A and B are shown apart, each in its own frame.
Chain A
Amino acid sequence: GAGVSQSPSNKVTEKGKDVELRCDPISGHTALYWYRQSLGQGLEFLIYFQGNSAPDKSGLPSDRFSAERTGGSVSTLTIQRTQQEDSAVYLCASSLFAGMNTEAFFGQGTRLTVV
């Protein structure tokens, strides 16, 4: 596609439910990033995928969070047993190749509200 696409754009869920957030990166981009942005806060790194390498999961806040990237393209971020503190905007970005002179392109984000 023309840009990074995230779905849904908004998600309201009840506390304790599981949610899945989807990211479609730009075709051909090998690096994919997930960030979380809480209200009025900066960007919190969650997880990073680069090609077929093992993902860097060092930013995941708890074992309720997991992510996968199928076929080196689409990524899904899953939050199990959601809590109110999980409410935030979840941003996905992709880049052509990590570590080179390239920029990261961001999606519009998924606004998650846990009630």
Chain B
Amino acid sequence: AQSVTQLDSQVPVFEEAPVELRCNYSSSVSVYLFWYVQYPNQGLQLLLKYLSGSTLVKGINGFEAEFNKSQTSFHLRKPSVHISDTAEYFCAVTSPQQTGANNLFFGTGTRLTVIP
């Protein structure tokens, strides 16, 4: 089975500063990786995903993430954050080879707080 670790439970950052939210995964098979965002009092929505191909993935709202197989990481970055980016961010992993049992695993989330 796969697992995901988000090392930072909370990340405060000043407006217009860059940010990196860390995600590491564990898997013995090939993976698909996702970042979801949850704004206050809302459900989760997809920010970006890595399936194959280019290891640098661009998502909505200026976010991007880089898949690093050797370091088993999929860190999320944004060069300049806005107040509206304040939210909970979840990293998730699944495998195209995993069927039958639950195959979508989430990290514990990182709360990004943008400070004016």
Contacts and interface: CB of A to CB of B under 8 A. Distances in A.
A101 B32 contact: yes
Contact of A58 (B36, B90, B101): B101
A109 B43 contact: yes
B42 A108 contact: yes
A104 B49 CA distance: 11
Given A42-B90, A109-B43, A99 B96 contact: yes
A51 to B, nearest CB: 10
A56 interface: yes
Interface residues of B, number: 29
Nearest to A3: B43
Highest count of chain A CB atoms <10 Å: which of B43, B105, B108: B43
B113 interface: no
A48 B96 contact: no
A28 interface: no
Given A41-B109, A56-B100, A103-B46, 14 more contacts: A35-B106, A43-B109, A45-B106, A48-B103, A59-B102, A99-B95, A99-B98, A99-B103, A101-B32, A101-B51, A101-B52, A106-B43, A106-B44, A108-B43
Ranked nearest first, the 6 interchain pairs of A and B with the lowest CB-CB distance are A42-B108, A48-B102, A106-B43, A106-B44, A101-B51, A43-B106
